């Protein structure tokens, strides 16, 4: 007798449905892509570095020749012939101190002693055209140098310096340097301090005290400019 297989549907009370485990979506990994630069950027940086190096080299080569002191370039352009002497002890460099040919040098200044005569105003203009001014005397050593130069030149008798009075007895230098009575070199009995003598000249004598107040008429002159260094 063939056996029969019976299927039955069985339900269990209080059975909970199968737990559903929720799996969080896979976290996306952040991919780190290298930052991209323009292909020409390294070339630009290299070019800039090269230009900086060239600029530094040029500055080092030009610097020794660029010393001009306080002297305007116009003076160097005006004169084509110069007389230079070493400004430093031998073996310590190639710095030179130069004055236009025909000018006299003392310390850091150049002096032009004229061989012609002009009134005061024209004398001022003449020095200005040469990028200089009527001499301003600041020390006894400078005064002694000029006295010796005038004694040797034997060209004129009286030479304008850059000292003048706008009011009788009130002396002023052309560059506004304060007038110092204790550093003045007046001849004995000078200045006269009269209205007709408002300009100052150096009288060519061996005495270091050789300033006279004089009429502002035609006299020789002394111009001064800063020496050019190179």
Place of tokens 């006295």: 147
- Amino acid 93: pLDDT: 57
- Amino acid 22: pLDDT: 52
CA distance 140 to 144: 6
DSSP bridge pairs for 86: 96
- Element containing residue 160 per DSSP (H, E): strand 158-167
148 CB-contact burial (10 Å; exposed 0-12 / middle 13-18 / buried 19+): middle
Question: What CATH class has 108-222?
Answer: alpha beta
- Average pLDDT of each block of 10 consecutive residues along the chain (230 residues)? 42 45 50 64 84 79 44 60 74 75 94 96 96 96 95 87 95 94 93 96 93 96 92
CA distance 198 to 216: 7
Place of tokens 């559903």: 20
């Amino acid at each position: 007798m063939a056996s029969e297989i019976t299927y039955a549907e069985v339900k269990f009370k209080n059975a909970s449905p199968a737990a559903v485990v929720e799996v969080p979506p896979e976290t996306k990994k952040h991919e780190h892509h290298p930052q991209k630069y323009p292909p020409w950027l390294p070339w630009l940086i290299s070019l800039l570095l090269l230009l900086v190096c060239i600029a530094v080299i040029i500055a080092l080569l030009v610097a020794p020749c660029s010393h001009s002191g306080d002297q305007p370039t116009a003076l160097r352009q005006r004169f084509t012939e110069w007389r230079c002497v070493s400004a430093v002890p031998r073996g310590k460099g190639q710095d030179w101190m130069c004055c236009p040919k025909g000018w006299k040098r003392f310390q850091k200044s150049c002096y032009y002693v004229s061989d012609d005569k002009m009134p005061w105003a024209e004398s001022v203009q003449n020095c200005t055209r040469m990028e200089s001014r009527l001499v301003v005397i600041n020390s006894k050593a400078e005064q002694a140098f000029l006295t010796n130069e005038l004694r040797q030149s034997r060209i004129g008798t009286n030479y304008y310096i850059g000292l003048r009075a706008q009011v009788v007895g009130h002396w002023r230098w052309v560059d506004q340097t304060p007038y110092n009575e204790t550093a003045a070199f007046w001849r004995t009995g000078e200045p006269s301090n009269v209205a007709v003598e408002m300009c100052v000249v150096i009288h060519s004598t061996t005495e270091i005290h050789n300033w006279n107040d004089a009429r502002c008429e035609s006299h020789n002159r002394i111009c001064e400019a800063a020496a050019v260094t190179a």
